[in-house]
Amino acid sequence: MGRGKLRIYLGAAPGVGKTYAMLSEGHRRVERGTDCVVAFVEHHGRPRTETVLRGLEQVPRRTLEHRGAVLTEMDVDAVLARRPAVALVDELAHTNAPGSRNPKRWQDVAELLAAGIDVVSTVNIQHLESLGDVVEAITGVRQRETVPDEVVRRADQIELVDMSPEALRRRMAHGNVYTSDKVDAALSNYFRPGNLTALRELALLWTADRVDEYLRKYRGEHNIRSTWQARERIVVGLTGGPEGRTLIRRATRLAEKGAGGEVLAVYIARSDGLTAASPKELAVQRTLVEDLGGTFHHVIGDDVPTALLEFARGVNATQIVLGSSRRRSWQYVFGPGVGQTVARDSGPDLDVHIVTHGEVAKGRGLPVARGARLGRSRTLAAWTIGVAGPACLALLLTHVDADLGLANDMLLFLALTVAAALLGGFLPALASAAAGSLLLNWFFTPPVHRLTIADPKNIVALAVFLGVAMSVASVVDLAARRTHQAARLRAESEVLSYLAGSVLRGETSLDALLERVRETFSMESVALLEREDEVEPWTPVASVGPHPAARPEGLGATVAGTVPAGRALLVAATVVALCAAAGAVSGPAGAL
């Protein structure tokens, strides 16, 4: 027996017609031959609602007595015993009378869904738990009856019942919502035009976000990578430089020109931690973008243009805003900048805006794509010195009349090897040492122009030369590796600090935390599993993305296939630590 499906009619305020729409849907299903009953409907004495209620089977309510008053609630046991295909349940956020089966009606609905019964229900936007403070600030009324956002978000269908404030006020004035003795008070208080407009905007925006979630899920399930320009979504590429504030403000102005525009600022951090931005400046820019209504994202990627484009397509962005390159003119010798690469690879579905700013040509901004650990320019220079340098030196020494002696010749070749090691590490230095030893043997050790060595002392000298050259190269390469590891740890610490800060700033939703981890490490899916002990099966706590793994073995394979093992450990530690901080993991054992 499968789980029932939930359909919710969402309204901005009482009286927009949610119950009427729900009952009309019930009549349509009955006409199609579906076994549909009214489990609970409150018509509030509205004539049109009473009229549409006729003709539908109603399950008798349960009667409760509380403090001398007789109350009626939905009889969950009676509905389960009747076992219809569809049950109509009004007022999802309703608080049940003391003595009821469950404290809240949405919990009653959960039981019906678990029993395989489809449910059609109604709720107003002001009853969503996350919007309680916002609604109170708008209307001055604190909503006592609320429903968790997650209950509504997990509905299989959400339909917005919309009505303009003017039309709703006319309905009230005609007595279609409240009795005549309550109309004037309602119109002058809760149902003022400003209140209704604000509540309507809340309902529209919340529904738009839910539709966007459906769209992202559909695109993920069908592996759609191209951008669908259903909504203006602008991605701002940040380098951590001071020009970021200009880019954020420019992107915000672009978003304001389109209805429902959204700004997403993203900083791409190299996994090796090199060219790290100032955490202080990034914090300032994160605060700025959040103050302007956007969101800040921290993503790890070695190839900055590719990571930026993958992020933009992943969020279905329509535009990318980048700053003019801070690289100096001579740096373009080593390849195009990030802006040029993104513009070239963006394709027809993404518009790329290059914004000028006061930091142009004052220093390099986003790191060059596909750079080696020590940098592309350093590596190129090291191989040039290591391979071409010994040949040029040998050519120079053979055409100079001065006889410097074998010892001095070796020192000159050793200097080239040390330079190659300092610039490029072990491999260029090894090539320089090999080339230098062969050239010394061919041109400067008797018999010349032959690879044989007559004097045993020269054999020792060449062996010492090769050993010293390789030792210097190894030491320099080891120092570079240690620097790389330390910088990577710094980058990972920045990510942990940022995600932990999300918890402290109130982003305690488990799905939101998992989405942050998925986004940061460029994963397709992230799942959090828990179990009571070593022998119990794993239970999924939450997941984001298409096709999440249901076992640690499957997820481990996914992680290993998408990120290095060291970063996989960081991902696991990040999720477990954050979920523990948010109080999301209740079992003694958890796994990512």
Q: What pLDDT, in 10s, does the model give residues 409-449?
A: 777 888 888 888 777 777 788 888 888 878 877 777 777 77
Pick the last residue of a domain from 221, 253, 286. Answer: 221
Whole-angstrom distance, CA of residue 237 vs CA of residue 343:
13
Assess whether 317 and 292 both reside in one domain: yes
* CB of 45 closer than 8 Å to CB of 179: yes
Assess whether 342 and 397 both reside in one domain: no
* Whether the predicted pLDDT of 369 surpasses 70: no
Whole-angstrom distance, CA of residue 312 vs CA of residue 298:
13
Residue 422, H or E segment: helix 406-424
Q: Are strands 233-238 and 319-323 parallel, antiparallel or unpaired?
A: parallel
Q: Which domain holds residue 518?
A: 506-591
Residue 367 lies in a domain: no
Which CA distances in Å does 360 have to 180, 237, 275, 299, 327? 68, 15, 18, 24, 7
pLDDT of res. 560: 34
Assess whether 241 and 203 both reside in one domain: no
Which range scores top for mean pLDDT: 17-26, 197-206, 318-327, 485-494?
17-26
Pick the last residue of a domain from 444, 479, 514. Answer: 479
Which alpha helices (H) appear in 222-257, and where do they start and end?
244-256
Least confident segment among 143-147, 223-227, 383-387: 223-227
pLDDT of res. 222: 63
Residue 496 lies in a domain: no
**pLDDT, tens only, 524-568:** 778 888 877 666 777 888 888 777 777 766 544 344 334 444 444
Assess whether 510 and 474 both reside in one domain: no
Radius of gyration in angstroms for the set of CA atoms belonging to the chain, rounded to a whole number: 34
Sequence-distant (6+) residues with CB within 8 A of 561 are none
Assess whether 179 and 44 both reside in one domain: yes
Assess whether 21 and 124 both reside in one domain: yes
Distance of CA 387 to the CA centre of its chain: 45
Assess whether 214 and 293 both reside in one domain: no
Whole-angstrom distance, CA of residue 475 vs CA of residue 479:
6
- Report which residue type is found at 306: T
Residue 35 lies in a domain: yes
Whole-angstrom distance, CA of residue 195 vs CA of residue 174:
20
Residue 55 lies in a domain: yes
Work out the average pLDDT over 365-384.
Answer: 59
pLDDT of res. 450: 74
Assess whether 396 and 536 both reside in one domain: no
Give me 400's structure tokens: 């100079």
How many structural domains does the chain have? 4
* CB of 56 closer than 8 Å to CB of 37: yes
Residue 228 lies in a domain: no
Assess whether 311 and 437 both reside in one domain: no
Residue 484 lies in a domain: no
Least confident segment among 239-248, 319-328, 404-413: 404-413
How many helices and strands, by DSSP H and E, does the chain display?
A: 21, 16
Pick the last residue of a domain from 192, 221, 250. Answer: 221
Residue 169 lies in a domain: yes
CATH at 29: 3.40.50.300
Assess whether 435 and 469 both reside in one domain: yes
* Whether the predicted pLDDT of 187 surpasses 90: no
CATH at 306: 3.40.50.620
- Report which residue type is found at 434: A
Whole-angstrom distance, CA of residue 279 vs CA of residue 264:
18
pLDDT of res. 507: 54
* Whether the predicted pLDDT of 138 surpasses 60: yes
* CB of 113 closer than 8 Å to CB of 87: no
Assess whether 586 and 475 both reside in one domain: no
Work out the average pLDDT over 61-81.
Answer: 88
Residue 490 lies in a domain: no
Higher pLDDT, 278 or 56: 56
At 49, is the secondary structure helix, strand, or coil? helix
Assess whether 23 and 172 both reside in one domain: yes
Q: ω into residue 552 within 30 of 0, thus cis? A: no
Work out the average pLDDT over 145-152.
Answer: 90
Which range scores top for mean pLDDT: 330-339, 514-523, 582-591?
514-523
At 220, the pLDDT band (50, 70, 90 cuts) reads low
pLDDT of res. 205: 79
At 274, the pLDDT band (50, 70, 90 cuts) reads very low
Burial of 564 (0-12, 13-18, 19+ CB in 10 A): exposed
Q: Provide the mean pLDDT of the chain.
A: 78
